[in-house]
Chain A
Amino acid sequence: MQEKADQIFILLRDWLVGFLPASWQTAAGVLLGVVAIIAVFPGLFALTTVLERKGIARIQNRLGPNRVGPFGILQPIADAIKSLTKEDVVPLTADHAVHFLAPVVLVIVVFMGFAVLPVGRNMQLVDMDSSLLFYFAMGASGEVSIFMAGWSSRNKYSLLGAMRAVAQMISYEVPLLLSSVVIVMITGSLSLVKIVEAQNQYTWGLPHWYIFTPWGCAAFLMYAISATAETNRSPFDLPEGESELVAGYFTEYSGFKFALFFLAEYLAMFSISGLGTTLFLGGWSAPFAFLGWVPSWIWFFSKVMMSIVVMIWVRGTLPRLRQDQLMNFAWKFVLPMTLLNLMVAALWRFMGEGWLRWVVCSAILIVAYVIAGRIGMRREHLGPRTYRYAE
């Protein structure tokens, strides 16, 4: 019975595809999977826009949207109607072909990333040997479209925003990849399905998720920081900060194209949270062995929504980082820590089982973090806080 609930979408797909002749069946199965992805994730996007606006509003001690529907739940419908019916203004001197293609390319590339995420047991769209590499390849291709958007608008603010965004995304791509490489090193495979299956084991009822190991926890923190920077979310949202650059690289986009950029940003958030749960939080596996009866896709979506909630929380809480502060942080702190983490993971692997490797690896990481932090802070001349009051 719980096997059926777990595999209900696979069974549904097989039943629907069974009506077609045999030669069309695999293609139809893939097409159904694609339709499911296109239906589910934008639906989650609509839910997340309300969650974000209400959440940030409550953090900032105000109410958020509460007119459309009870507690503002139907706000995304109002937003969709607005963006569809707004006039599409394109500047006269803008590069029309590139201006049109930029949001299209970005949305395509972001949707491609969802194809390899294992949403549940046996529930990934394609199962490739190097699916993690595919995901990062798609992530890297998104940067070209951001540049296209900023350049084609022929607007200094857009161009500056695009350059900052691309520089930030490239800088944080390296720690993102390096913190994921640690997982690949320990699992021995680039396939996301195998990574989740390696985490689906339980010792004394506790799961083998990689976040519960010292190098996994460090890698998860660095992945979280890099993921927040990759999707241009606060506190790394200088390229699109409203008070800084009008709207950064999508200044000149109105109506549906703006909605496409917005969709692409939130979908990138989902996709990178999905990858984070697959790599570190165990993907679709349950937290405790006795909870295995709950369907696997429920666990996956719960973990992704929890990551989204944490991202929204961080957005409402932390102030924005300046461009040079963000780049310094990436190259001078996060990158060396990821390299050290690689070596600590190798040490973990070769030390053999036992409590000693836990102590040694945690000690190395914590000491390195404290030392690197102290060295980084030495320039800042931080002393006891002084207050100046207006007289």
Chain B
Amino acid sequence: MSFMFWILAALTIAGGLAAVLLKNLVHCALAVTVAFAGLALLFLQLDAQFAGFAQILVYIGAVAILVVFAILLTRGSETPKKEIGVFSRTWLAGLVVAAALFAVLSWAVLQSAGGLSQDDAAPTVSVLQIGQALMGRYVLPLEIVALLLTAATIGAVIVAMHEKEDSK
């Protein structure tokens, strides 16, 4: 819980809050990019180099671009009207769901934190160990994820092709 952690946590939370509170949709997308960057810096602060840099490469370099492309190609960044604002009408249900999720997650984290002793030094995980784990113990989840990604790609191509034929 060092000083750096509080700064990075504040940055991430500020990015997340800005992503839901700002009026301009493209500003929201850029704010969520800041939140991704904050997460990557948190990984780096915990000495997880591979996870941090992969977070930057994948989330900021690909997912954020995907989000802005989706905004660009669909509706643009119209500002919401005055009476609606940025909050939805069913905000109470959303608040209840978010609070329940937060309660479950914090219970799970606090339960597991008791098992780790504070005295052990943090394990330094090298890329070699990650590679060996992925190809050894976790090879089945790796292959399933690859299959899922391939299915998603093919599905995206089919959805796009179908729309073109509809418009003819």
A98 contacts B by Cβ under 8 Å: yes
A166 and chain B: residue at smallest CB distance? B65
A31 contacts B by Cβ under 8 Å: no
Of listed B24, B50, B57, residue having the most chain A CB within 10 A = B57
A129 touches B61 (CB 8 A): no
Q: Which of A130-138, A206-214, A339-347 contacts B (4 or more CB under 8 A)?
A: A130-138
A133 touches B54 (CB 8 A): yes
B33 contacts A by Cβ under 8 Å: yes
Q: How large is the interface on A (under 10, 10 to 19, 20 to 34, 35 or more residues)?
A: 20 to 34
Among B57, B68, B69, B72, point to the contact of A137 (Cβ < 8 A): B57
Q: Mark B112-133, 1 if CB is under 8 A from A, else 0.
A: 0000000000000011000000
B21 contacts A by Cβ under 8 Å: no
A110 to chain B, nearest CB (A): 14
A136 touches B57 (CB 8 A): yes
Q: Mark B12-34, 1 if CB is under 8 A from A, else 0.
A: 00000000000010110010010
A143 touches B57 (CB 8 A): no
B126 and chain A: residue at smallest CB distance? A129
Question: A139 to B72, alpha carbons, bound, how many Å?
Answer: 22
A142 and chain B: residue at smallest CB distance? B61
B-chain residues with CB within 8 Å of residue A143 when the two chains form the complex = 61, 65
Among B62, B69, B72, point to the contact of A140 (Cβ < 8 A): B62
Question: A197 to B126, alpha carbons, bound, how many Å?
Answer: 19
B64 contacts A by Cβ under 8 Å: yes
A-chain residues with CB within 8 Å of residue B72 when the two chains form the complex = 151, 159, 163
A141 contacts B by Cβ under 8 Å: yes
Question: Which residues from 136 to 173 on chain A have a C-beta closer than 8 Å to any C-beta of chain B?
Answer: 136-141, 143-144, 147-148, 151, 159, 163, 166, 170, 173
B53 touches A144 (CB 8 A): no
B26 touches A151 (CB 8 A): yes
B-chain residues with CB within 8 Å of residue A133 when the two chains form the complex = 49-50, 53-54, 57, 127
Contacts A130-B127, A139-B61, A144-B64 given; 17 further ones with Cβ under 8 A? A97-B27, A98-B26, A128-B49, A129-B126, A133-B49, A133-B54, A134-B49, A134-B53, A137-B54, A137-B56, A141-B61, A143-B61, A144-B33, A144-B60, A144-B68, A163-B69, A170-B65
- A selection of 21 A-B contacts at a CB cut-off of 8 Å is A98-B26, A98-B27, A128-B49, A129-B49, A130-B127, A133-B57, A134-B49, A137-B56, A137-B60, A139-B61, A140-B57, A140-B61, A141-B56, A144-B30, A144-B64, A144-B68, A147-B68, A148-B30, A151-B26, A159-B72, A190-B127
Identify the B interface with A (CB < 8 A): 24, 26-27, 30, 33, 49-50, 53-54, 56-57, 60-62, 64-65, 68-69, 72, 126-127
